[in-house]
Amino acid sequence: MAKLKPWLILIPLGLATGAGGGAAMGFLKPGGPPAAEALTKLDGRFVTLGALLIPVLLPDGQLTAYVTIEVQLEVDVADEEGATERVPLIIHAVNLRTFQTPLAAGPDGRLPDAGKVRALVAEEAAQVLGKGRVKSVALTRLAPA
């Protein structure tokens, strides 16, 4: 009879521990992960701004790079048509603001701070559409140009 290797016992123990942990999480958190809950609560429509080329500025105003961003705004169903009609005005406002706002992040300043970009777009969209009309801003792409 072949001698059983001691480390082979760890495989079934690991499988049992993993299965038990997974089952325990199912009992402790019914309803799935929080991300799934958030996705089911969306009751608005998304309006696409398209691809925007924005400059990345250091705090002293020096231009370090350009990046391409794609943004989608979540608005109420009733506001979708009005928001879609005003997309060129939102893009214009974002373009004007990015040339005045330092967005650089990282060690070399060549990539923008995604949080600052989202906040900037949200502020400008609220200016154009009206306060409280933009429910959320989804930054779907941020890439070097």
Provide the 10 A C-beta neighbour count for residue 125: 25
Which candidate, 22, 75, 83, places its Cα nearest to that of 44? Answer: 75
pLDDT in tens, 64-88: 999 999 999 999 999 999 999 999 9
Kindly list the structural domains of the chain, giving each domain's residue range(s) and its CATH number in brackets, ordered by start.
43-144 (3.30.479)
pLDDT in tens, 51-60: 999 999 999 9
Q: In what order do the strands lie in the sheet with 134-144?
A: 45-57, 63-75, 134-144
**How does DSSP assign 72-106, residue by residue?**
EEEE-GGGHHHHHHTHHHHHHHHHHHHTTS--EES
This prediction has a pTM of: 0.69
- Per-residue pLDDT at 17: 72
Question: Consecutive sets of 10 residues in the chain, 145 residues long: mean pLDDT of each?
Answer: 63 68 63 55 83 93 94 93 94 94 90 93 95 93 89
